[in-house]
């Protein structure tokens, strides 16, 4: 904090903040629905080029990447925010402004993160800050929902494979720090049988009744409270008529934990429960055809965590304290899950300001003193690129 170049960079952040508020609105008004982030990605590519990053490109998954070389190639810090929103194509993405409060879908999550990334690059340039290691900046796709972290998965398994030593994602608002990544398995399970008349074909194994057995077993799972591990049968459907033995039905199931072993244990129990339910149903009704189940994985977010006593978390807490953060690190499900799962030091931080209604159409972002979020991110980036 005593380094004159850092002080100059912090002043630059403050000076530039009003421009970046305008940028935040402008970027938010470029729709980036799930699986269609291309237009916003092209804009970020243009902005990265304008800020003088090296080797600016869009990878084949759609992530925008650019490098700001330091004195040496390593450590190489990947510093990113996500392009995508949860809002489908055709959503009105117009942003309104009332005093310091901006309102529009995605204004905080994660347009705030995107302008923090841009604001950090600009201020480092303005103050001529030379970092010891290198910072690779990215705007990634597929963070939300069924995007399943596909952008960050591609960065670590392909585009930047083996090149990244540390990771920060700027996601949403406030000054929080996330060091535990809640992983999840999501399944759609289809149960099938021959089906028939409820009276005439009585004695036939029934897919819905098999699914009922499975749901009862899932409901009885014992899961650890700490680390918090959860399951939910969220949707069911199927059948044709009250007087027909159904030929098919389905359910959607979500399982979560930040702890690898707990999540894998739960996953194993889930698969066993489906098979046991089918076997029980087929033993109960042997006369007229059997049922089967097909569990399809529709989502997977790898779990992981960065230990609270690791250098990256201690550094993040120390830097955050300078800027008034008084909390402790917490859990979340973000892009940082991917490096955490690989054992690469990783955290997710908020981008400053105050947000409400993330993932809702009337999401708001209060810009009051939001430059503090960019300042914190800048100092943290410089500290970690050492
Ligand atoms: Zn987000």
Averaged pLDDT, 208-234: 96
- Report the pLDDT averaged over residues 178-188: 96
Q: Is the pLDDT of residue 169 over 90?
A: yes
| pLDDT bucket at 146, cuts 50 / 70 / 90 | confident
pLDDT of the residue at 342 = 96
Task: Kindly report, residue by residue over 90-143, the tens digit of the pLDDT.
Answer: 999 999 999 999 999 999 999 999 999 999 999 999 999 999 999 999 999 999
Do residues 233 and 170 make contact, with C-beta atoms less than 8 angstroms apart? no
**Strand-pair category, 177-181 with 330-332:** parallel
Report whether pLDDT(35) > 90: yes
Give the global pTM: 0.90
Tell me what percent of the residues of the chain surpass a pLDDT of 70. Answer: 100
Domain annotation for the chain: domains and CATH numbers: 4-182+303-384 (3.40.630.10), 183-301 (3.30.70.360)
Of 346, 375, 351, which is closest to residue 75 (Cα–Cα)? Answer: 346
Distance 172 CA to ligand 1 centre (A): 6
CA of 335 to the centre of ligand 1 (A): 9
The reported pLDDT for the residue numbered 227 is 87
Between the CA of 20 and the centroid of ligand 1 the distance, in Å, is: 19
pLDDT, tens digit (0-9, with 9 covering 90-100), for 355-368: 999 999 999 999 99
How far is the centre of ligand 1, averaged over its atoms, from the C-alpha of 234 (Å)? 22
Nearest to 88 by CA among 32, 41, 29, 39: 32
Using one digit for the tens of pLDDT, what is the confidence trace for 294-337?
Answer: 999 999 999 999 999 999 999 999 999 999 999 999 999 999 99
pLDDT for 145 equals 84
Element (H, E) at 212: helix 207-219
Q: Does the structure show a pLDDT above 90 at 287?
A: no
Residue 107 Cα to ligand 1 middle (Å):
10
Of the CA atoms within 13 Å of residue 98, those in its CB half-sphere come to 4
- 55 C-alpha to ligand 1 centroid (Å): 26
d(CA 276, CA 280): 6
What is the distance in A from the centroid of ligand 1 to the CA of 143?
A: 7
CA of 245 to the centre of ligand 1 (A): 44
81 Cα–ligand 1 center, Å: 8
**What is the model's pLDDT at position 348?**
98
* Distance between Cα 233 and ligand 1 center (Å): 24
Please write the tens of the pLDDT for every residue from 44-75. Answer: 999 999 999 999 999 999 999 999 999 999 99
- Distance (Å) of CA 266 to CA 3, 210, 230, 260, 275: 50, 20, 9, 10, 14
Strand pairing class (229-238; 248-257)? antiparallel
Q: How far is the CA of 168 from the centre of ligand 1 (A)?
A: 13
DSSP assigned state of 162 = T
Q: Is 67 helix (H, G, I), strand (E, B) or coil?
A: strand
Give the distance (Å) from ligand 1 centre to CA of residue 247: 40
Per-residue exposure over 177-202, b if at least 16 CB sit within 10 Å of its own CB, e if not: bbbbbbbbbbbebbbbbebbeeeebe
- Report whether pLDDT(17) > 90: yes
| Nearby residues of 23 by Cβ (< 8 Å), 6 or more positions away | 47, 115, 118
- Ligand 1 centroid to residue 82 C-alpha, Å: 7
For ligand 1, the distance from its centroid to the CA atom of residue 269, given in whole angstroms, is 31
Cα(386) to ligand 1 centroid in Å equals 27
């Amino acid at each position: 904090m005593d380094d004159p170049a850092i002080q100059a960079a912090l002043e630059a952040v403050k000076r530039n903040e009003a421009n970046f508020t305008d940028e935040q609105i402008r970027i938010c008004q470029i729709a980036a629905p799930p699986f269609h982030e291309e237009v916003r990605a092209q804009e970020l590519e243009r902005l990265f080029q304008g800020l003088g990053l090296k080797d600016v490109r869009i990878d084949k998954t759609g992530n925008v990447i650019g490098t700001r070389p330091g004195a040496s190639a390593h450590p190489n810090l990947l510093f990113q925010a996500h392009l995508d929103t949860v809002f489908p194509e055709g959503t009105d993405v117009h942003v309104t402004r009332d005093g310091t409060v901006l309102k529009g879908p995605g204004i905080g999550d994660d347009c705030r993160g995107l302008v923090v990334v841009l604001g950090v690059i600009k201020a480092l340039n303005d103050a001529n800050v030379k970092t010891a290691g290198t910072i690779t900046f990215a705007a990634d796709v597929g963070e939300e929902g069924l995007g399943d972290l596909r952008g960050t998965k591609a960065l670590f398994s392909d585009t930047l494979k083996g090149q990244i030593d540390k990771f920060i994602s700027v996601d949403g608002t406030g000054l929080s720090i996330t060091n535990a990544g809640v992983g999840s398995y999501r399944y759609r399970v289809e149960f099938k049988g021959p089906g028939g008349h409820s009276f005439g074909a009585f004695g036939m194994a029934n897919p819905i009744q098999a699914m009922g057995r499975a749901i009862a077993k899932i409901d009885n799972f014992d899961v650890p409270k700490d680390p918090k591990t959860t399951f939910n049968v969220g949707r069911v459907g199927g059948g044709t008529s009250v007087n027909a033995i159904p030929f098919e039905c389905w359910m959607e199931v979500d399982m979560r934990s930040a702890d690898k072993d707990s999540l894998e244990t739960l996953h194993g129990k889930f698969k066993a429960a489906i098979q046991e339910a089918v076997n029980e149903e087929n033993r109960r009704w042997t006369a007229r055809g059997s049922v089967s189940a097909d569990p399809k994985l529709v989502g997977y977010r790898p779990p992981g965590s960065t230990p609270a006593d690791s250098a990256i978390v201690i550094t993040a807490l120390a830097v955050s304290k300078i800027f008034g953060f008084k909390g402790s690190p917490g859990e979340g499900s973000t892009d940082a899950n991917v490096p955490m799962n690989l054992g690469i030091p990783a955290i997710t931080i908020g981008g400053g300001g105050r947000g409400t209604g993330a993932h809702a159409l009337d999401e708001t972002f209060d810009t009051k003193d939001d430059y503090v979020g960019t300042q914190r991110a800048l100092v943290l980036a410089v500290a970690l690129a050492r």
